[in-house]
Amino acid sequence: MSAKTIEINGVKMGKKGVRYAGKYTPVWYSHGPLVDGRVCVTVRSKCILKDLPAALGNVQNNTDIVTDYFEKDFVRFFEGSAEYSALLPLCN
């Protein structure tokens, strides 16, 4: 594994995307505080049609097709976790 690739629960996390079970999903990484003050790294899919792997943990998607609101999958890793520390270099 290269310095720019991190593995979390079998998911290979690279600078531009994640790979799991032969499927690739392009992603964005962001780092900062939420409204409630907790600091986290957020991993968000770049495409509505490409899901993040469930192996990442608490993957969220607040899409509401009744009101015609679509959102991309995202997962958050909070400050203090091993995943947070590992993903920080990918946020730059």
User: Quick one: pLDDT at residue 48?
Assistant: 86
Q: Which two three-digit tokens encode residue 7?
A: 């593995």
pLDDT of residue 65: 79
Largest CA distance in the chain: 43
Kindly state the percentage of the chain with pLDDT values over 70.
Answer: 97
Is residue 60 within 8 Å of residue 36, measured between CB atoms?
A: no
Count CB neighbours of 13 within 10 A: 21
Question: For residue 87, what are the CA distances in angstroms to 14, 17, 70?
Answer: 9, 12, 26
Ranges of residues in the chain with a pLDDT under 50 are 1-2
Confidence at residue 64, expressed as pLDDT on a 0 to 100 scale: 82
pLDDT of residue 2: 47
Whole-prediction pTM: 0.86
Residue 30 is predicted with a pLDDT of 95
